[in-house]
Amino acid sequence: MSKQRRRDTTLTIRLTKAEKERIERNAKRAERSVTDYLVLLSLQTPIHVAEDVKPLLIELKRIGNNLNQITAKINAGAFRSYNFEDMIDGHKKIYEQLLDIARKG
């Protein structure tokens, strides 16, 4: 690291031998000490916290329940055909939102 700083605190972590060797190898490739490598990596890596997905999961469950009820009625002969496009579109939108959150988080 370019700045001189006083290192007066210790952080102890437990690793497997393979993990330690990989970190040491990566630090060497980055031309850094293990300490500098880990500090830079941890400070530069963005942390994404997923927003509350509970409302999306509830809506997804409701749509799934509706699909199951309609399927059961179709199988029982109550309907000959049904337009599932609206339900499928709603399901896709919620699924895409969950994927977007997962990618960020």
Q: Which residues contact 35 (CB under 8 A, 6 or more apart)?
A: 7
CA distance 62 to 44: 40
| Residues 61 and 93 reside in one and the same domain | yes
Question: Which residues form the domain of 39?
Answer: 7-45
Could you tell me if residue 1 is inside a domain? no
Could you tell me if residue 41 is inside a domain? yes
Output the CA angle 46-56-96, nearest 5 degrees.
65
Tens-place pLDDT, residues 48-92:
666 677 787 888 888 888 888 888 887 888 776 667 777 778 778
Q: Looking at the chain, which runs of residues are DSSP E strands?
A: none
Asked if 105 and 47 count as a contact pair (C-beta separation under 8 A), the reply is: no
Could you tell me if residue 89 is inside a domain? yes
| Residues 25 and 62 reside in one and the same domain | no
Asked if 91 and 60 count as a contact pair (C-beta separation under 8 A), the reply is: yes
Q: Pick 18 or 92 by higher pLDDT.
A: 18
Greatest mean pLDDT range, 35-39, 43-47, 56-60, 73-77: 35-39
pLDDT score recorded for residue 68: 85
User: How many structural domains does the chain have?
Assistant: 2
Q: Per-residue confidence at 94, pLDDT binned at 50, 70, 90?
A: confident
